[in-house]
Structure 1
Amino acid sequence: MSAKKKTFVGITLISITLIIGFVFYGLYLMADEDKYGDLVYIKEEVENGDLILKCSKEYFSNKESEFDEIGIIEKSFGQVYVWDNKNTLKKTLFDWCERQNAQKVIILRGKRKVKNLNILKIDGNYNYLLNSTEYEKITETL
């Protein structure tokens, strides 16, 4: 085989490999977005110690939502987990939000990281955290 043929075959094989690689990477990203939906964007923005608030009841855009569940974000090994409000149960972000039918989710980042939710004054409704000066809203899903 001549040098020109070897070069042509080599470049063709590399090109085919790259194209197949890009196709599979695109399919991987699509599968991730299909599974997580809007949560795929939250996965990239959260940090350890962020608070996540969930509204499980249906709401209307002109009415304020009541956030009835709270958790703490933990990131490890490329996955995002949520500790429940008693720090006893750790679930994936998808299980905590989607499988329990969350209607609205808000992520809050505090000036100091929260490791245990027992320090928060809990009155059954977590909306007061949205107006607190100690927390800033990072993102939300509808």
Structure 2
Amino acid sequence: MSYCCGASMIGFIGSLRKQQVLVHHVPLLYCPVCHDVSVNPSVRDEFELVVEHANQDRVKEVTLRDEITPDMINEWRTVCVSFQEDDDFLAILYEQIDSALDLLRVAKIIQDKKWSEELKFRLKVLTERLKTSGRSEKMVDR
């Protein structure tokens, strides 16, 4: 599983620009706390190769995967806790909040104050994100 700033990464299929090349249908990892986006490690080499070839051919927009199968999604899912396959980002936020609450309980049991504070900050950010998502915000291609 991938983590960023203490939060588990959310997987999704989106678009990413690198070296002036826009690549579509890329399996990505997204941090709901700091909003960092990165390419799923299982396709990182393929992504870099597609960008390199596009630059050599002076192509500004390409597609990484023309067809995404359920098997591919299952493979990509192993790197992250949640994988967004539809528009239900709220369910993923609730899952992230539940996970953080479980970890906070453990941090309190072992009396790890630093970890507890990090988890409280994560919960605050996720809760704020939940409030804004409930109004109409949805995850978009990055």
TM-score class normalised by the smaller sequence: under 0.3
Query: Structure 1 length as normaliser, TM-score?
Result: 0.23
Determine which structure has greater relative contact order: mean sequence separation of CA pairs < 8 Å that are 6+ residues apart, divided by chain length: 2
Query: Structure 2 length as normaliser, TM-score?
Result: 0.23
Larger-Rg structure? 1
More helix per residue: 1 or 2?
Answer: 2
